[in-house]
Amino acid sequence: MLQYQTIPVTPFQQNCSLVWDDQTRQAAIIDPGGDLDVLLGAVKQLGLQLEQIWITHGHVDHAAGTADLAEQLQLPIIGPHPGDQFWIEGLTQAAAMYGFPPARAFKPTRWLDDGDTVTLGSHTLQVRHCPGHTPGHVVFYSPEIQRAFVGDVLFAGSIGRTDFPQGNHEDLINSITQRLWPMGNDTVFIPGHGPESTFGRERQSNPYVRGT
Ligand SMILES: [Zn+2]
Ligand SMILES: [Zn+2]
């Protein structure tokens, strides 16, 4: 069975998630934006064997700890979509601008595209490309536990900002309605910031996507 725990990191309280197999303890970490000491403490406390880093998009609060973590533990970096390469290359500058600890760019071991899958032990998660907030944003979906890790595409009661370079509101709405909603109303999503919700609840009550 797949399990997960979400740990808010960085001054932006970004929801980094640990995902693991409860038998083998094999684990992946989604969006290690910073506070690596806290994250590695949780890995140790949970008795996990961290094997992979999965990245939803190249924003500093999601990706700034990636290079250091990958180097420290010799982990592969999987994702995001190549559309976010310019964000990853700008991580050093973004970290300085937002008052984060020094950060480095990195080269993903594997870029992701819509329809790809990632695997953790015997578990498979689906990858959907969800541009709009950033052009290379991806989300990770586990049909097995009916959970989607959606980064900054959708939040409980809100949606991702689209006023960054290469952001696009229409693309974001299309990503939400065409790539998230088909995962089902009962699917719980873990957003990049704030509390979890379900797609069904957002379709009913989120003012940005209500009735879509
Ligand atoms: Zn973002
Ligand atoms: Zn964010």
**Ligand 1 centroid to 24 CA: how many Å?**
32
Helix (H) / strand (E) containing 8:
strand 2-9
Domain ranges of the chain: 2-205
Amino acid at 51: E
**Ligand 2 centroid to 152 CA: how many Å?**
5
Question: What superfamily does domain 2-205 belong to in CATH?
Answer: Ribonuclease Z/Hydroxyacylglutathione hydrolase-like (3.60.15.10)
- Name the burial class of residue 122, with classes exposed (0-12), middle (13-18) and buried (19+) by CB atoms within 10 angstroms of its CB: exposed
**Ligand 2 centroid to 129 CA: how many Å?**
17
* pLDDT tens, residue order, the chain (212 aa): 999 999 999 999 999 999 999 999 999 999 999 999 999 999 999 999 999 999 999 999 999 999 999 999 999 999 999 999 999 999 999 999 999 999 999 999 999 999 999 999 999 999 999 999 999 999 999 999 999 999 999 999 999 999 999 999 999 999 999 999 999 999 999 999 999 999 999 999 999 999 99
Q: Are residues 103 and 91 in contact, defined by beta-carbon separation less than 8 angstroms?
A: yes
Q: What is the pLDDT of residues 126-142, one digit of tens each?
A: 999 999 999 999 999 99
pLDDT the model gives residue 2: 97
pLDDT the model gives residue 129: 98
Q: What is the pLDDT of residues 19-38, one digit of tens each?
A: 999 999 999 999 999 999 99
- Name the burial class of residue 181, with classes exposed (0-12), middle (13-18) and buried (19+) by CB atoms within 10 angstroms of its CB: middle
Task: Fill in the DSSP letter of residue 100.
Answer: P
Report the relative pairing of strands 147-151 and 77-78 from DSSP bridges.
Answer: unpaired
Cis amide prior to 80 (ω within 30 degrees): yes
Half-sphere exposure of 167 (CA within 13 A, CB side): 14
Amino acid at 177: T
**Ligand 1 centroid to 52 CA: how many Å?**
21
**Ligand 1 centroid to 153 CA: how many Å?**
8
Q: Where are the alpha helices (DSSP H) in 90-137?
A: 91-97
Q: How far apart are alpha carbons 88 and 175 in whole angstroms?
A: 21
C-alpha pair distances (Å), 113 with each of 34, 120, 180: 25, 18, 15
**Ligand 2 centroid to 160 CA: how many Å?**
8
Please name which of 162, 167, 169, 209 lies closest in space to residue 189, comparing C-alpha atoms: 209
Confirm whether pTM is higher than 0.95. Answer: yes
DSSP string covering 51-86: EEEE-S---HHHHTTHHHHHHHHT--EE---GGGHH
